């Protein structure tokens, strides 16, 4: 589903996310773009002078990233076992809910510990996920359909549900190609975290949370914020 994700994700507030990141990132040192996908954040940041390394578990998405920009450095890997030396990065990014797709919460914790390992002392970690509370209020006990949306090569119908306890989100995508009109179905789930839970995991992994934001303009986080963004440093 790599090509489909590439078309969908590129429309998802990418420019706002990049401007937010540039507010907090320094040009010194290497930055790891965790679950970098097609490089939609890495490539513009490289153009602006940042030294970015992207890591993703999808070979197809990394292939798209290299097709878009040969100069982008990408690595195929698992965020639970980062193939980098200890203290090799000045910052790590996890943007647009790239966190929570691993099989268990224990795996998520392992990935946070790995991020801490590869960061220098006081290295920056920016992690951006859905706000569990806002999403639960909006979708719980519902099966909401987005209606058909058009992308360059296909039409997408998205149905979204939240588990009864609000611990995970499930998206069912129905994709109909424009050329062949073939219909394909994809399902993916992501674990949801509230502010206190995710902050506790970051604390245990060796981070100090400096700021919590509710959006890409640096908005104060609240129960009705669409995003939950932590700005943390390695201690």
The string of pLDDT tens digits covering residues 77-107 is 999 999 999 999 999 999 999 999 999 999 9
pLDDT on residue 206: 98
Instruction: Report the distance separating Cα 220 and Cα 19, nearest Å.
Output: 17
pLDDT band at 187 (very low <50, low <70, confident <90, very high): very high
Q: Say what the pLDDT of residue 142 is.
A: 58
**pLDDT at position 21 over 90:** yes
Separation of alpha carbons 82 and 63, rounded Å: 19
Whether 210 and 149 map to the same domain: the answer is: no
For residue 97, the model assigns a pLDDT of 94
Is 85 in the same domain as 106?
yes
| Same domain (yes/no): 80, 102 | yes
Q: Residue 102: its pLDDT value, please?
A: 96
pLDDT attached to residue 76: 98
What per-residue confidence (pLDDT) applies to 36?
A: 96
Number of domains in the chain: 2
Q: Residue 93 corresponds to which tokens in the numbers above?
A: 């990014």
Domain containing 68 — which CATH number?
3.40.50.150
pLDDT band at 229, cuts 50/70/90? very high
Three-state SS letters, 38-66: CCCCHHHHHHCCCEEEEEECCHHHHHHHH
The secondary structure of residue 192, as a DSSP letter, is -
In the beta sheet, which residues pair with residue 128?
229
Q: Which residue has the higher pLDDT, 151 or 9?
A: 151
144 pLDDT higher than 70: no
| Per-residue confidence (pLDDT) for residue 141, from 0 to 100 | 57
Domain co-membership, 121 together with 226: yes
The pLDDT of 126-145, averaged and rounded, is 84
Whether residue 147 is found in the same domain as residue 97 = no
184 has a pLDDT exceeding 90: yes
Say whether both 107 and 207 belong to one domain.
yes
Number of residues written out for the chain: 235
For the chain, percent of residues with pLDDT exceeding 70: 95
Range of the domain at 162: 133-190
Q: Exposed, middle or buried by CB within 10 Å (0-12, 13-18, 19+), for 206?
A: middle
Shared-domain flag, residues 87 and 36: yes
pLDDT of residue 139: 82
Is there a single domain that holds both residue 26 and residue 82?
A: yes
Which of 29-43, 119-133, 144-158 has the lowest average pLDDT? 144-158
CATH assignment of the domain containing 169: 2.20.25
Task: Using a pLDDT cut of 90, give the percent of the chain over it.
Answer: 83
Nearest to 40 by CA among 77, 80, 13: 13
């Amino acid at each position: 589903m790599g090509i489909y994700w590439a078309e969908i994700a590129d429309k998802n507030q990418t420019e706002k996310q990049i401007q937010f990141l540039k507010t907090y990132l320094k040009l010194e040192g290497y930055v790891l773009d965790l679950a970098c996908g097609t490089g939609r954040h890495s490539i513009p940041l490289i153009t602006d002078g940042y030294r970015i390394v992207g890591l993703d578990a999808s070979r197809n998405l990394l292939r798209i990233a290299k097709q878009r920009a040969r100069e982008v450095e990408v690595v195929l890997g698992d965020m639970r076992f980062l193939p980098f030396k200890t203290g090799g990065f000045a910052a790590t990014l996890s943007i647009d809910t790239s966190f929570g797709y691993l099989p268990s919460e224990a795996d998520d914790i392992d990935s946070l510990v790995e991020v801490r390992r590869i960061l220098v002392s006081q290295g920056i970690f920016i992690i951006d996920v859905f706000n569990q509370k806002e999403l639960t209020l909006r979708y719980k006990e519902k099966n909401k359909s987005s209606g058909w949306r058009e992308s360059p090569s296909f039409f997408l119908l998205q149905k979204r549900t939240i588990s009864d306890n609000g611990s995970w989100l499930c998206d069912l995508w129905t994709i109909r190609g424009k050329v062949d009109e073939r219909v394909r179905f994809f399902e993916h789930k992501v674990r949801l975290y509230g502010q206190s839970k995710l902050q506790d995991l970051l604390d245990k992994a060796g981070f100090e949370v400096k700021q919590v934001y509710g959006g890409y303009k640096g908005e104060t986080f609240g129960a009705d914020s669409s995003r939950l963004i932590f700005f943390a440093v390695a201690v």
